[in-house]
Structure 1
Amino acid sequence: MSNQVLVLDTNRKPLTPCTPGTARSLLKAGKAAVFRRFPFSIILKKEVKDVPQPLTLKLDPGSKTTGIALLKGSQLLWVAELIHRGAAIKDAILSRRQLRRGRRNRKTRYREARFLNRTRPQCWLAPSLQHRVDTTLTWVKRLTRYTPVAEVRQELVKFDLQLMQNTEISGIEYQQGELQGYEVREYLLEKFNRQCVYCGAKDMPLEVEHIKPRSRGGSDRVSNLVLACHSCNQSKGNQDIKDFLSNKPDVLKRVISQAKAPLKDATAVNVTRWALFNALKELGLPVVTSSGGKTKFNRSRLGLPKTHFFDAACVGETLELQVCTREPLLIKTTGHGTRQMCGTDKFGFPTRHRSKAIIHKGFKTGDMIKAVVTTGKKAGNYVGRVLCRKSGSFDIATKSGRVTGISYKCCQPIQRKDGYSYAI
């Protein structure tokens, strides 16, 4: 079951999405034309005066991937997973800072420091975090242009039943309340990806296990807790983890490092959720928020697997769900290239200079193209993102891998570069 096709009339008025079969019939009859490849949209050749049925856009914001779902009542029509590049942005900024520091230390070592001269505005977010808000907002705006979205629902906060029962709860009551064990377990499930740290078993009951046994002085601190299946927990018993994993040094190193690592992804979501909520309100659409606990309850009640797009579909009030699609559009954020004109080696010294020309033979790196090669060793049809060169010999990144040395004369543009790559 694939996504339904987005439909516009001749005045670019968004209409109710249709099935792929209906879209195929309209295209063959000449009553519509392809408007956009990703997301696949068609535009009718006539004006439609009927009022389309309103849709609900649901979002499940995440640190690395955001789930997106479009629903008409209880029907799940269109789903997508937006893959962020916050880690790549952080690495690029770190590299730029190191290069600048090295250059300034070599050439202007006596200059007075200026790192405290600039002030940050209120509610400032780091670029790697602001990127998550901006890309999600971009796709919300894009979908509101292509579909009759009447309401946006966002998963905003984690559930807090203790606060619901006692509005004055604070301090140690939170740590020793009736949800103490439950919150710890949910934290460990998020941290260890819902699998046994020793054998990697998934989709089975997991038990909370102490790295350093309590009988040997171990504490109940979260940094001393991991998740293990019943067999591994019984096999370890009260052994020290170094003795239990003496024959598996790689697993031992991974478990210890993962236990000490903080939940960076959860922190990123907590920091950006309110910024995204305030940005969504400025669009003029009603924004309804819900909790993560309600999303998990709906997904478990409906018997759906744990995926980003199904989590998005279960945000908010979801009494029933008619699943019409299970193939999400995978949207990977690739950016718009780099403005760095001078390439450097790992020590920061210049090694090459880039040309100012971006367009070569009518194509730009990142365009989605279709190449039809009729002769030679590489004869065939290729569809994917193109890597352009001044010589006219292009590379194409396809599903099956990268194809090199394709002439620009064999290429036809499908969709121009927009900062994203797409897959199904």
Structure 2
Amino acid sequence: MVYVLSQNRKPLMPCTNVIARLLLKQGKAKVRKREPFTIQLAYETTDYTQDLTLGVDTGSGTLGAAVSRENGEIVYLSEVEVRNDITGKMTRRAKYRRNRRSRKTRYRKARWQNRANSIRTGRFSPTMQSKLHSHVKEIEYIRSILPITEMVFETGQFDPHLMKNPNLADPKVRHWGYQKGSNYGFENTKAMVLNRDRYTCQSCKGRHKDSKLEVHHIVFRSQGGSDDGENLITLCHTCHKALHSGKINSVFHGKTNGTLKYATQMNSIRKQLLNLYPDAIETLGYVTKANQLQLGMGKKHYIDACVIATQGNEFSLKSPLYKKKCIPAGDFQQAKGVRSEKPITTGKISGFRKFDKVRYLGKEYFIKGRMTKGYAILMDISGTKADFSAMPKGWKTPKLKKLKRLEARSTWMVTTVAVTLNIA
């Protein structure tokens, strides 16, 4: 399957590999992109196209996209892994900034609420911006190579309160359950936990005669512990201090943070996508699941996208799967070390950058790391390091001069995977 653009870069219907090869050999077309393979015609032609439906399985971690003809042929198929490292990177950047300010002789007062971006109306957090842009980028890319006439998005309005407390599904509980949560009648969660534990240390049961009571996270917050009452316990100051110093062992069972944050993120992404694409058709997850079970298909993001695009009808795959992974636009850390004494090369080394797609020993890899002495560390699209320990001497560690660059680094890594339909 080869995607075709007109002379003025308008998307046309895709053609077969044989037709594309003949057009390139006769000089009637030129290669526009290697993966997915796209050509641009060098002569004027008609703008006749057929109806194509784009189905998008939106997601906070992975999104799937598929384009279907009226007869159920899937002419484009992709699965995109969006970024979930924005928060961690910004936290690390803030740590470095605070450390740098404390090392300098000139004191600079910390600034917080004097930035226009932090107080503007309708502000979208950096994490949400990245996730939304990943959806928009894939949708716009597909529209740039295929004449899409209809779009169907699988979105859903999640109710985190109901997901946290399934009892609210009962009509007898629903009418008051949303008004009376677990902290109803208390000032905060701490007051609720103290009252639940009868203002008694749950470790020594009051034997230490310590009147100072504290609320302890059973699973530490640094380890992903939740702030819910199920992860909190009442301890006296003596037991609390002894537990953190390792003098006593915790015998309590807590809980980690759930995945409700992804449901909250999808509520925001849904609203933003529908604002950007008001003509798109909205479908829900339970509809897709019912159609998927009826067709007997396995559970995959790209399979869900096919079911969405065909609206539950039978389909056949005419396109391979393009797996994509969103990555940063560049490397912005200039140095490493306690005092930033070790500079990091962010430019090219022997003509290669990090995340460049290369060919080595007949296979395709991505550059995970480079060495100034001329060596490289390779990986696949999932980040797994390539192992060449079984190769003969001189080939165990890839040399940059032995690599052939296929594609330069961009804001996502792309690879092609052959897939088949799995009938459940």
Q: TM-score, normalised by structure 2?
A: 0.65
Displacement of 1:279: 2.9
Partner of 2:170: 176
Does the 8 Å CA contact 1:158/1:292 hold for their aligned counterparts?
no
CA separation of 1:15/1:262 partners in 2, compared to 1, >3 Å: closer, same or farther?
closer
Alignment RMSD (CA, Å): 3.6
1:59-74 superposed matches below 5 A: 59-73=56-70, 74=72
Does the 8 Å CA contact 1:10/1:43 hold for their aligned counterparts?
yes
Displacement of 1:63: 1.1
Does the 8 Å CA contact 1:5/1:17 hold for their aligned counterparts?
yes
Deviations along 1:287-332, one digit per CA (max 9) or x if unpaired, are 2222222222222222221111121223377151322258521101
1:227-242 superposed matches below 5 A: none
Q: Give me the whole-angstrom Cα distance separating, in 2, the residues matched to 1:147 and 1:57.
A: 10
Does the 8 Å CA contact 1:70/1:79 hold for their aligned counterparts?
yes
Partner of 2:15: 18
1:78 to 76, 79, 86: 76
Partner of 1:364: 353
CA separation of 1:106/1:395 partners in 2, compared to 1, >3 Å: closer, same or farther?
closer
Asked if 1:383 is matched to 2:376, the reply is: no
CA separation of 1:301/1:340 partners in 2, compared to 1, >3 Å: closer, same or farther?
same
Partner of 2:111: 114
2:53 to 47, 56, 60: 56
Does the 8 Å CA contact 1:298/1:314 hold for their aligned counterparts?
yes
Partner of 1:196: none
SS in 1 for 2:268: helix
Partner of 2:408: 416
Displacement of 1:132: 0.8
Asked if 1:293 is matched to 2:286, the reply is: yes
Displacement of 1:131: 0.5
Does the 8 Å CA contact 1:159/1:293 hold for their aligned counterparts?
no
1:397 to 360, 364, 379: 379
Deviations along 1:16-42, one digit per CA (max 9) or x if unpaired, are 123456545655776655432222223
Does the 8 Å CA contact 1:159/1:292 hold for their aligned counterparts?
no
Displacement of 1:393: 3.8
1:180-199 superposed matches below 5 A: none
Does the 8 Å CA contact 1:76/1:321 hold for their aligned counterparts?
no
CA separation of 1:409/1:99 partners in 2, compared to 1, >3 Å: closer, same or farther?
closer
Deviations along 1:96-149, one digit per CA (max 9) or x if unpaired, are 122223333454796544222233332222212210111221121111111111
Displacement of 1:91: 1.2
Partner of 1:305: 298
One-letter code aligned to 1:383: E
Q: Give me the whole-angstrom Cα distance separating, in 2, the residues matched to 1:178 and 1:40.
A: 58
Displacement of 1:280: 3.4
CA separation of 1:317/1:336 partners in 2, compared to 1, >3 Å: closer, same or farther?
closer
Does the 8 Å CA contact 2:82/2:325 hold for their aligned counterparts?
yes
Runs of at least 5 residues in structure 2 that lack an aligned partner in the other structure:
160-165, 175-227, 231-250, 389-395, 418-424
1:118-267 superposed matches below 5 A: 118=115, 119-158=118-157, 175-177=169-171, 257=255, 261-267=258-264
Deviations along 1:256-278, one digit per CA (max 9) or x if unpaired, are 635x6342222221222212222
SS in 2 for 1:300: helix
Does the 8 Å CA contact 1:290/1:316 hold for their aligned counterparts?
no
Runs of at least 5 residues in structure 1 that lack an aligned partner in the other structure:
161-171, 181-221, 225-251, 372-379
Displacement of 1:390: 4.8
SS in 2 for 1:350: coil
SS in 1 for 2:9: coil
Q: Give me the whole-angstrom Cα distance separating, in 2, the residues matched to 1:408 and 1:159.
A: 49
1:311-390 superposed matches below 5 A: 311-315=304-308, 318-325=311-318, 327-345=320-338, 349-355=339-345, 358-371=347-360, 380-386=361-367, 387-390=369-372
One-letter code aligned to 1:43: Q
Displacement of 1:382: 4.0
Q: Give me the whole-angstrom Cα distance separating, in 2, the residues matched to 1:59 and 1:83.
A: 13
Q: Give me the whole-angstrom Cα distance separating, in 2, the residues matched to 1:120 and 1:38.
A: 41
Q: Give me the whole-angstrom Cα distance separating, in 2, the residues matched to 1:413 and 1:179.
A: 62
One-letter code aligned to 2:414: Y
Q: Give me the whole-angstrom Cα distance separating, in 2, the residues matched to 1:390 and 1:159.
A: 50
Deviations along 1:335-369, one digit per CA (max 9) or x if unpaired, are 22321223244xxx32412346x234443332223
Does the 8 Å CA contact 1:79/1:325 hold for their aligned counterparts?
no
Q: Give me the whole-angstrom Cα distance separating, in 2, the residues matched to 1:154 and 1:59.
A: 5
The percent of aligned pairs where both chains have the same amino acid is 27
Does the 8 Å CA contact 2:358/2:366 hold for their aligned counterparts?
yes
Displacement of 1:90: 1.5
